[in-house]
Amino acid sequence: MSSQPSDLISEDVNLSRCEEILQYKFQDRELLRRALTHSSIAASRLTSNERMEFLGDSVLGMVVCETLFESYPDYAEGELTRIKSSVVSRSTCARISCEIGLDDCLYLGKGLTNHEGIPESVIAGSFEGVVAAIYLDGGYEPARTWLRSVLQQEIIRLVEQEEEENFKSVLQQLSQKDFQLTPGYRLLDEKGPDHSKCFKVSAYIGDEYYPAAWGNTKKEAEQRAAENAYAVLSEQPAPHPSDE
């Protein structure tokens, strides 16, 4: 959305719509208006959302760190850091903004009014600005509640991705430590039509092959094969069947 701040009627409607999207009613709407105002239309940089973005970035980081720390007590610092970095990235913030419709509430200069042309950094900055606005208006708890609600599914997705990627990484570390070799993966079979194939992969270390596993993609099959190999090396039964 592109609008002049002096257009009080349309601005009031826009802020009300934004509050509905956020499911948060501001005591001080000026905070929300500033959070949505890009420097390209603001009277000065100090009246744009740049300062709000600075504060919101810190609040966002704190909430995500706290959420990950509490929710995943078995994760090491490195794993938590990788997930946190992805959650607070510009691409994630911009995508979440677009998914909930926040990007349609922005006050932008004429050069940025083409919706498809709005830079990712601008959308992400407004997301962080809104985080700061909620924090300044209601305190930490409302900001945390809102962020957890909009980021919950993204955090779950990234955690699942991290868990999948861990098996190949862990197997490689174990193989290099115990055998001074890097594991390999061999495609043994595939079945199904082109649009819905399944793949059978076995992990091997040197001349030793471990129980194969099926997956809907080669990547998934490799991850499962790595998990099978890691289980066998840990003297545990392979969790994924070789035949389906």
Tell whether 14 is covered by a domain: yes
Read off the CATH number of the domain in which 94 is found.
Answer: 1.10.1520.10
Residues 161-187 have pLDDT tens digits of: 877 667 888 898 899 999 999 999 999
Decide the pairing of beta strands 213-215 and 198-205: antiparallel
Tell whether 20 is covered by a domain: yes
- Split at pLDDT 50, 70, 90, the class of 4 is very low
* Positions marked active-site: 57, 128
More reliable by pLDDT, 89 or 118: 89
Tell whether 111 is covered by a domain: yes
Q: Are residues 96 and 208 in the same domain?
A: no
- Sign, Cα dihedral of 130, 136, 141, 142: negative
DSSP state for residue 27 in the 8-state scheme: S
Q: Are residues 47 and 111 in the same domain?
A: yes
- Split at pLDDT 50, 70, 90, the class of 9 is low
Q: Are residues 137 and 28 in the same domain?
A: yes
Query: Hunting for tokens 């990484």 — which residue is that?
Result: 169
- pLDDT recorded at residue 6: 41
Rounded mean pLDDT, 21-25: 97
**Residue 188 phi, psi (nearest 5):** -100, -30
Q: Are residues 149 and 213 in the same domain?
A: no
Tell whether 44 is covered by a domain: yes
Query: Hunting for tokens 């545990």 — which residue is that?
Result: 236
- Split at pLDDT 50, 70, 90, the class of 44 is confident
Tell whether 83 is covered by a domain: yes
Please spell the DSSP secondary structure of 114-148, one letter per residue.
-GGG--HHHHHHHHHHHHHHHHHHH-HHHHHHHHH
Distance of alpha carbon 39 from alpha carbon 80, whole angstroms: 34
> Domain containing 219: what range?
183-233
Tell whether 172 is covered by a domain: no
| Assigned token pair, 211 | 């129980």
Distance of alpha carbon 81 from alpha carbon 63, whole angstroms: 13
Q: Are residues 82 and 39 in the same domain?
A: yes
Count: domains in the chain: 2
- pLDDT recorded at residue 12: 86
